[in-house]
Structure 1
């Protein structure tokens, strides 16, 4: 990408999109295009086609998505599948029709099988059954990834995809039921501390193993790959390090300053037993995550405190 290339970041108000915009600006890119949902409904094919025909961006970062945790994914299966498939297909197709030089599709590690080998290599995609609690979202993301691949194979485009592990950081969603585990824990322990609650109850038994990547590290990788990687196979984005949800809860509680007891509701689902990405491909390409988890959680909590309205989303 040239510093004055026209770059469209879809989903620039979300956690990932806003981090990509920050990283692009940090690196001196000056011609960044953004649209709010009110300005451009990505689920509307006509609206997306009109936007691309008018703006004709050179490069696209597709970070827009309908996202949520286990409860949101389980209760709105059709919505998660429809909204994500429509918006990603609209953007990718319009980019192709309007001569976009390169597109980068942002997915999620939930695309990999529930019982995938650990750490999960890019090659394990579609080798066995998906995790049921986020199957609809995963299927939509797999479709976007595959559409990029098929355009490359049929039409010679240069469309790539990145599959991040669990993300957290500035501009996260702290909604009590529609957020992912780390921001949900930040909010839960913060509110418990303010209320003086002696006990906080968390879902499951705390045993699942998870990996967490600070979103600004992901944004650095995204810009790096846009400039240096081409290929049909996706690239995993993670730290290569994991901890149990129990250990995560204890770390978040300590960071927030909650001193009460943590209990576990084993009637609630755990989700996938283990999710650790094989990040050797990204490492070989020349990228490694740089933000330690404890430091990242501290920064995320600062963001939560400084932006209280995010807790209402």
Structure 2
């Protein structure tokens, strides 16, 4: 049994003020909904128009004004392989600024409980599978998203540095690929699952005979429903206190080809799925070892097929507004 799993749970006061950075995004929105269901009564959020987290002075001012007891950092500039590969400078700079400003301000106003959420892309491209947390910094990163990965690694290091220097109960968690209601379905900037869902839905609606999928279809990915991540986030805040980052996932994966077929069946596309092997595959496989989290007593609960159906229902309900983005 690990040291972290031997620590007694520390429940959060449901009246504590919790600031969720990025509360309008996929992850932050899910965390907000989950905390409301769990009885939290003082949740704080601010849109990017209200508080640009890249603006250091504004971030410090906001945290001095709100004085949160807990901070959950779900704010980030995110995107799929195309966006990461096209805008590496912005993905590095924006995410570094967001994290540094938020954590420095949280430390300045004596926030003792903070959760930093990263990404499984922090691990080496050819890490042994399933990927253990100890694989961090042991090999070369996937070049199509190395800028984003470096930013998230810096966030982990800042959590560890603040813990070591100031003794705060700050933690970091690395979720696998996320999806669910509230996802980004932008045709160029979205991740693989929502991108496939939009393309295949539009192909089915137009009666297209064929949809071309990027890459060989052989890379394997793990997908975690965002509601599961929200539940894991609160669980970790109450049951985990260690400088080591911890993986959050489901413990199983699926090939991109299999995912394409699942989404096609969900949206009703009956045409041909072909592969454009001239496009990049990215990391061959990215399955997280979630044994440490399981040891603490938490497991994901939303099956992929059920989660995809739920996400598609949300997509259909919001189709009119999505088309304007």
| Cα distance change on mapping 1:312 and 1:273 into 2, 3 Å | farther
The residue that corresponds to 2:220 in the other structure is 209
Q: How far apart, CA to CA, are the structure 1 residues paired with 2:171 and 2:131?
A: 19
SS of equivalent residue, structure 1 residue 200: strand
Per the TM alignment, residue 307 of structure 1 is displaced from its structure 2 partner at its CA by 1.0
The residue that corresponds to 1:74 in the other structure is 85
1:242-261 aligned at under 5 Å gives the runs 242-261=253-272
The residue that corresponds to 1:302 in the other structure is 313
Q: How far apart, CA to CA, are the structure 1 residues paired with 2:269 and 2:53?
A: 41
| Cα distance change on mapping 1:275 and 1:12 into 2, 3 Å | same
Deviations 1:77-96 (A, max 9, x none): 10000000000110011101
Aligned residues: 313
Per the TM alignment, residue 310 of structure 1 is displaced from its structure 2 partner at its CA by 3.1
* Corresponding residue to 2:276 among 240, 265, 278: 265
The residue that corresponds to 2:198 in the other structure is 187
Q: How far apart, CA to CA, are the structure 2 residues paired with 1:13 and 1:65?
A: 11
Per the TM alignment, residue 312 of structure 1 is displaced from its structure 2 partner at its CA by 4.3
Report if aligned partners of 1:201, 1:265 keep a CA contact under 8 Å in 2: yes
1:280 maps to 2:291 = yes
Q: Could you state the TM-score of these two structures normalised by the residue count of structure 2?
A: 0.95
SS of equivalent residue, structure 1 residue 185: helix
Report if aligned partners of 1:151, 1:157 keep a CA contact under 8 Å in 2: yes
* Corresponding residue to 2:53 among 42, 47, 50: 42
Q: Could you state the TM-score of these two structures normalised by the residue count of structure 1?
A: 0.99
1:57 maps to 2:68 = yes
* Corresponding residue to 2:236 among 207, 225, 242: 225
SS of equivalent residue, structure 1 residue 18: helix
SS of equivalent residue, structure 1 residue 133: helix
Report if aligned partners of 1:172, 1:310 keep a CA contact under 8 Å in 2: no
1:118 maps to 2:109 = no
Per the TM alignment, residue 55 of structure 1 is displaced from its structure 2 partner at its CA by 1.0
SS of equivalent residue, structure 1 residue 126: coil
The residue that corresponds to 2:35 in the other structure is 24
Per the TM alignment, residue 227 of structure 1 is displaced from its structure 2 partner at its CA by 1.2
Q: How far apart, CA to CA, are the structure 1 residues paired with 2:103 and 2:170?
A: 9
Q: How far apart, CA to CA, are the structure 2 residues paired with 1:224 and 1:312?
A: 37
The residue that corresponds to 1:237 in the other structure is 248
* Corresponding residue to 1:88 among 99, 104, 122: 99
Q: How far apart, CA to CA, are the structure 2 residues paired with 1:23 and 1:15?
A: 13
Q: How far apart, CA to CA, are the structure 2 residues paired with 1:306 and 1:219?
A: 22
Consecutive unaligned residues in structure 1, runs of 5 or more: none
